[in-house]
Structure formats: structure tokens, C-alpha cells
């Protein structure tokens, strides 16, 4: 376990203030509450809810030249039909209760990294399940290659954030199935992805060696989190703010997290490496801050598989590893959910999914995940 630092005491003092960083959502919206001595989400009608999400729900693998007839003949070239009659039915049967983050990687090469689009409000309604939505405020994902880093201090950034919230949050503001908003996936505050180093980090990590540098990073992150939260709250006063999906295995300065705490309801993390790594990394931030935490992206794969990114061969989810991560999160009293880096369909770039590109189900993974999800749902239901 990483060592608790003096800054953690400051976090604890901050969180003793009433309502700081906590949802004040009225009935009718998801909220964060304490149940039986731990944090969990609360459904719009007040029931305990441990978010069991599946990420990366993209229909495009069904429209390749090899599989195009599947999309037309089985699903009538209709997103509504596919979401209502196939995806929703599967997720419920498999024990998932949330669409975690629907975008999926569709190109990953030396020139660019591209994700499929987010769902529209109508598509989420056709899916008919709780969901999390990512807002494109900054594009500071660590896998991003083609977008420039934003000037967070500029009036232009604030103007852009207002547009994003006006365009999207205003449409989601009354949706009872929206759990909350993510910002960026693995933001490059002081690190960069090995495949995207030409863009570099947002802040020079060498400057963290001085008090002045650490103070400057805290100021920059404060502007970012305050600007984004204010933009959301202008158009949506109630839904949870899930913030950035931090890369738990990369360098993450405490100054960034400390700046985020007053402006996010949940600290969200991507963390690969299995249950022990989840315990180490999420357990550290949960204990340090006392804040609710969400494992927003993780998976383990059945051996053997070829490591590296982008994947060169298909990978298959390990249901035993999935169960171990769930059991670990149950023992972290701040943990409010686990979203599986599936995805739903095994596409030509991600190369992992619970159904193949021809919709053949991975029954070994699905059977184990279904059992683990049902156990977790039953566990959450008795936490009152």
C-alpha cells in the first residue's frame, strides 16, 4: 500500500465541511449516500446502487464488409432496434446495471487514435438503462494524438466548456437514468502515453520539484475543475460529476486531486493489473481523500494473450479476475462501482468483447460475470 502523506490530513479536513464535493441531488436523480458505514450510489428513488457497468458499446463491427448482412438482416439497419432488442436484453441478462462509457476505440495507428461517438440522448433512452456520459471539454486523454492541448486559463476554454454544457447537459438535465458526467479518459496532467509522447503532458513534471511549481499546478487544476463544474451547473444543477477518469498506474500528483475534490462528486480511475493493483491504487486514493471512488475502466484477460497496445490478437475477458476485482471493491468502503473495459462487441481494433464481431457470445466470460454481478447486486441491496 502506498504511504499516506501529510496532504491526506488536509484532504480529511476539507471533507469535514458539510456538503463539500458531495451531491446535493434531490429525489429523482442519482446521488452519493452512505449506506451501512460505506459509500454507495443511491437510485433516484433512494435505493442503494453499486454501479456494474459495461464500457465500449459500438455497433460498427456489425457493418464491416464481412458482417454487413448481420446489421441489415438482424437489426434492420436500426440503432433503436439494436439497442432495445439486443444490447439492453444482454446487459440485463448479464447482470450489468449501467452503460459505463459507450465510446470505443476504432482506429489506433501512428498518426491518430480515434474513438466512436457518444450516444445521443435518444440512443440512451432506447437502451433504457442507467448510463454515464463523457463531456468533450478538453481532449487531454493520454492516448490522444491529433488534438492540441488546451489553454485552460484562456477565455476561449471557458467559452468552449459553456458550449459543451449547453449542447449536451441541457438535453440530459431531466434524464433520471443519467448517473453522471465524465470529463477525459486518462488525462495527461503530468504524464504522456508511450504512443502519444509528441504531444507531451499538460504540465511539466519537472516543476513539481519546487513549492512554486506544485502551487502552480494546483492553481491550473483548480481553474480546470471550477470552469467545467460551473459550465455543467449552468445547465444541469443536479446530476453527479464523475470528473476525469485518472490513469491509476501513471503519475498523479496530489495537487490535481486536491484541486478536483470541491468540484467532483466521485473520483474516477482506470486501473489495470488485477485485483491486487486495484486494492493498492484505488485503496490509496480512497483512504487518502475519504472521497467516493469509481473503478471506471479495468479488465483482466484469459491466458494466453499477447500483451501490448494496440492488441495484435483477440483477448478474452477472465471472469475469475472480474470476480476478484469486485470482491476487492466491496472491501473499499468508498468504492461505488466497477465498469468493465469490455467491450460489448469484439471489434477490429480493441480485439476484446463479450460478443464476437458476428455476435457469437463468449459464454465462458458471460457465465462467470453474470454470477458475480448478481452476487454484487444482492450484496449492495442489503447495505442499508
pLDDT digits (tens, 9 = 90+) for 174-204: 999 999 999 999 999 999 877 766 678 999 9
pLDDT at 77: 96
Question: Residue 24 has what pLDDT?
Answer: 54
| pLDDT reading at 42 higher than 60 | yes
In a domain, 19, yes or no: no
Q: How many CA atoms lie within 13 A of 317 on its CB side?
A: 32
Q: Percentage of residues in the chain with pLDDT exceeding 90? A: 80
pLDDT at 156: 98
pLDDT surpasses 60 at 295 = yes
Q: Which domain holds residue 141?
A: 31-381
Average pLDDT for residues 342-367, to the nearest whole number?
95
| 152 belongs to a structural domain | yes
pLDDT at 334: 98
Asked if the structure places residue 18 within a domain, the reply is no
Does the pLDDT value for residue 7 go beyond 50?
A: no
- Residue 60 maps to a domain: yes
Domain-located, residue 10? no
pLDDT recorded at residue 384? 54
Burial class (CB in 10 A: 0-12, 13-18, 19+), 73: exposed
8 in any annotated domain:
no
What is the 3 state secondary structure string of the chain?
CCCCCHHHHHHHHHHCCCCCCCCCCCCCCCEEEEECCEEEEECCCCCEECEEEECCCCCHHHHCCCCHHHHHHHHCCCHHHHHHHHHHHHHHHCCCCEECCCCCEEEECCCCEEECCCCCHHHHHHHCCCEEEECCCCCCECCCCCCCCCCCCCHHHHHHHHHHHHHHHHHHCCCCCEEEEEEEECECCCCCCCCCCCCCCCCCHHHHHCHHHHHHHHHHHHHHHHHHHHHHHHHCCCCEEEEEEEECCCCCCHHHHHHHHHHCCCEEEECCCCHHHHHHHHHHHHHHHCCCEEEEEECCECCCCCCCCCCCCCECECHHHHHHHHHHHHCCCCEEEEEECCCCECCCCCCECCECCCCCECHHHHHHHHHHHHHHHHHHHCCC
User: Domain total for the chain?
Assistant: 1
What pLDDT was estimated at residue 311? 86
Is 372 within the bounds of a domain? yes
More confident position, 312 or 285: 285
Q: Other C-beta atoms within 10 Å of 94: how many?
A: 20
Q: Tell me: pLDDT of 5 over 90.
A: no
All 3 cell numbers of residue 152?
485552460
Residue 168 has pLDDT above 50, yes or no: yes
Distance CA 57, CA 270 (A): 17
pTM for the model stands at 0.93
pLDDT of residue 22: 46
Report whether pLDDT(10) > 60. Answer: no
The CATH number of the domain holding residue 361 is 3.20.20.80
pLDDT at 25: 66
For all residues of the chain together, what is the average pLDDT? 91
How confident is the model at residue 145, as a pLDDT? 79
Q: In this structure, is residue 44 part of a structural domain?
A: yes
- pLDDT 10s digits, 127-149: 999 999 999 999 898 888 778 88
pLDDT in tens, 105-124: 988 888 888 889 999 999 99
Amino acid at each position: 500500500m502506498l504511504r499516506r502523506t501529510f496532504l491526506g490530513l488536509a484532504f480529511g479536513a476539507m471533507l469535514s465541511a458539510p456538503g463539500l464535493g458531495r451531491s446535493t441531488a434531490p429525489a429523482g436523480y442519482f446521488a452519493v449516500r452512505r449506506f451501512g458505514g460505506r459509500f454507495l450510489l443511491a437510485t433516484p428513488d433512494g435505493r442503494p446502487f453499486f454501479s456494474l457497468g459495461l464500457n465500449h458499446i459500438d455497433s460498427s463491427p456489425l457493418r464491416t464488409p464481412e458482417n454487413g448482412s448481420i446489421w441489415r438482416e438482424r437489426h434492420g439497419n436500426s440503432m433503436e432496434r439494436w439497442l432495445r432488442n439486443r444490447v439492453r436484453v444482454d446487459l440485463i441478462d448479464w447482470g450489468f446495471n449501467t452503460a459505463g462509457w459507450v465510446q470505443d476505440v476504432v482506429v489506433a495507428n501512428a498518426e491518430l487514435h480515434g474513438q466512436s461517438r457518444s450516444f445521443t440522448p435518444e440512443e440512451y433512452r432506447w437502451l433504457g438503462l442507467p448510463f454515464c456520459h463523457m463531456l468533450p471539454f478538453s481532449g487531454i486523454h493520454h492516448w490522444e494524438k491529433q488534438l492540441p492541448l488546451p489553454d485552460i486559463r484562456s477565455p476561449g476554454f471557458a467559452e468552449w466548456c459553456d458550449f459543451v454544457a449547453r449542447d449536451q447537459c441541457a438535453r440530459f438535465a431531466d434524464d433520471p437514468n443519467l448517473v453522471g458526467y465524465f470529463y477525459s479518459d486518462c488525462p495527461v496532467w503530468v504524464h504522456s502515453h508511450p504512443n502519444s509522447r509528441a504531444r507531451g503532458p499538460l504540465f511539466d513534471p519537472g516543476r513539481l520539484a519546487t513549492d512554486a511549481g506544485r502551487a502552480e499546478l494546483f492553481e491550473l487544476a483548480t481553474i480546470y475543475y471550477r470552469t467545467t463544474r460551473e459550465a455543467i451547473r449552468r445547465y444541469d444543477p443536479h446530476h453527479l460529476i464523475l470528473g476525469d477518469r485518472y490513469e491509476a498506474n501513471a503519475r498523479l500528483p496530489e495537487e490535481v486531486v486536491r484541486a478536483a475534490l470541491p468540484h467532483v462528486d466521485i473520483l474516477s480511475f482506470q486501473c489495470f493489473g488485477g485485483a491486487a493493483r486495484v486494492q493498492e491504487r484505488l485503496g490509496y486514493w480512497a483512504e487518502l481523500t475519504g472521497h467516493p471512488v469509481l473503478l471506471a475502466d479495468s479488465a483482466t484477460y484469459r491466458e494466453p494473450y499477447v500483451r501490448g497496445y494496440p492488441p495484435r490478437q483477440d483477448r478474452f475477458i477472465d471472469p475469475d479476475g472480474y470476480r476478484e476485482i469486485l470482491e476487492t471493491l466491496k472491501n473499499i468502503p468508498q468504492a461505488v462501482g466497477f465498469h468493465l473495459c469490455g467491450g460489448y462487441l469484439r471489434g477490429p481494433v480493441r480485439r476484446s468483447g463479450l460478443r464476437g464481431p458476428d455476435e457469437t457470445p463468449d459464454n465462458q466470460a458471460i457465465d462467470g460475470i453474470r454470477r458475480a454481478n448478481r452476487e454484487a447486486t444482492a450484496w449492495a441491496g442489503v447495505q442499508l
